[in-house]
Structure 1
Amino acid sequence: MTRLNELRDNPGASKKRVRVGRGIGSGVGKTGGRGQKGQTSRSGVAINGFEGGQMPLHMRMPKRGFNPHNPKKWNQLRIDRIQAYIDSGKLDVKGVVDADALVNAGVIRRKLDGVRLIGSSGFTAKKVSFKVDYATKGALAAIEAAGGKVDMPKTEETADA
């Protein structure tokens, strides 16, 4: 049995750090492996993407698609997760289930830009009325099959759903 004062790392488990600038015999003395003069021999160098005046790789690569400057942040909720909150009694379904009701029940932390219902199975609650910003076709079908209804604002995005 080993004693506490005999505990050691396995051989080769830890490596001593290189102490640069400690004489010519060390192999990394004087300039410490930084070469001579210039920007990179000094501290505080930040030229990660710089290629010496040549057009950097990230600027040479083609750009694809469109990234909006102010994208919407949605609360995406699976309908089976909502069902779990209904079954546990945390979510009251007597009124309309909207963003405020979901925050009060602890299903979502904050409203963000709206709520989107996703998923296509696992929802069995009867006569639940939702007021959300978006719902997938599968989520709509599952909720309506259980006898509930979904109220969404009419927009181009939800018109085809």
Structure 2
Amino acid sequence: MAQSERIEQGRGFGKKRAKKSTSLGNKNLVPVPAGAKTSPKRVGQGPGSGMGKTSTRGSKGQRARASSMKRGFEGGQMPLHKRLPKRGFTNIFSEVFQPVNLVALAKAGLSGEVTPAILKAKSLIKSEEGLIKVLGTGEITAAITITVDGFSASAKEKIEKAGGKVILREKNKVEKK
């Protein structure tokens, strides 16, 4: 078999890696001394690796096993996350709105009829199906008719002052059986 037909050995394992050039493009980099950067120890790679069989874990015992201890295990002592008091609660009925400021509407150059689909197309919201709320940060000069799920009092006032209108979108309520 000729030399050219042989498979070249992998770059990171066995063969020496090519050194990075310190030509004009890399003058600002401090050269790393030889031996300063070493590859991590590859344990569990069989008897030929020099760390085969037990893979540097010794023999038997809890720490030699694959799943030795759970995270946060403190040797049977009551773990910290159970010793600390619990505070507050999570409201399962909370509604998370996607905020849209008036300054963003003005920046996008929107006028006339504005729907959630248009807001999504202009990347002002992430999803059309989610709840949308217009907030009053900034000023708007164009008259817009916007359909959303909520709005602040200042946003409604500024939109109506500019000659626009705010329409509340009907909620899709799921009927309980």
TM-score bracket for this pair, using the shorter chain length:
0.5 to 0.7
How far did residue 17 of structure 1 move? Answer: 2.6
- One of 95, 120, 131 as aligned partner of 2:137: 120
Contact 1:131-1:152 at 8 Å conserved across structures? yes
Contact 2:134-2:152 at 8 Å conserved across structures? yes
Between Structure 1 and Structure 2, which shows a larger proportion of helix residues?
Answer: 1
Unmatched tracts of structure 1, length 5 or more: 155-161
- For 1:120 and 1:29, locate their aligned partners in 2 and report how far apart those are by CA, in whole Å: 64
How far did residue 70 of structure 1 move? Answer: 6.6
Cα pair distance change 1:152/1:65, threshold 3 Å? farther
Contact 2:105-2:140 at 8 Å conserved across structures? no
Secondary structure in structure 2 of the residue aligned to 1:59: helix
TM-score scaled by length of structure 1: 0.61
What is the aligned partner in structure 1 of residue 107 from structure 2?
84
Secondary structure in structure 1 of the residue aligned to 2:82: helix
1:139-158 equivalence runs, <5 A: 139-152=155-168
TM-score scaled by length of structure 2: 0.56
How far did residue 58 of structure 1 move? Answer: 1.8
Secondary structure in structure 2 of the residue aligned to 1:77: strand
Please report the RMSD computed on the Cα atoms of aligned residues, expressed in angstroms: 3.8
Share of identical aligned residues, percent?
33
- For 1:71 and 1:112, locate their aligned partners in 2 and report how far apart those are by CA, in whole Å: 16
Secondary structure in structure 2 of the residue aligned to 1:82: helix
What is the aligned partner in structure 2 of residue 42 from structure 1?
65
Contact 1:103-1:110 at 8 Å conserved across structures? yes
How far did residue 72 of structure 1 move? Answer: 3.8
- One of 27, 38, 45 as aligned partner of 1:15: 38
Q: Which has the higher contact order (CA 8 A, sep 6+)?
A: 1
- For 2:169 and 2:42, locate their aligned partners in 1 and report how far apart those are by CA, in whole Å: 65
How far did residue 118 of structure 1 move? Answer: 2.5
Secondary structure in structure 2 of the residue aligned to 1:102: helix
- For 1:43 and 1:64, locate their aligned partners in 2 and report how far apart those are by CA, in whole Å: 35
Cα pair distance change 1:17/1:105, threshold 3 Å? closer
Letter in 2 for 1:74: F
Q: Bigger CA drift: 74-83 or 31-40?
A: 31-40
Contact 1:118-1:135 at 8 Å conserved across structures? yes
Secondary structure in structure 2 of the residue aligned to 1:40: helix
- For 2:77 and 2:133, locate their aligned partners in 1 and report how far apart those are by CA, in whole Å: 46
How far did residue 115 of structure 1 move? Answer: 0.5
How far did residue 7 of structure 1 move? Answer: 3.5
How far did residue 129 of structure 1 move? Answer: 1.9
How many residues align? The count is 140
- One of 53, 56, 60 as aligned partner of 2:83: 60
Does 2:117 correspond to 1:94?
no
Cα pair distance change 1:50/1:142, threshold 3 Å? farther
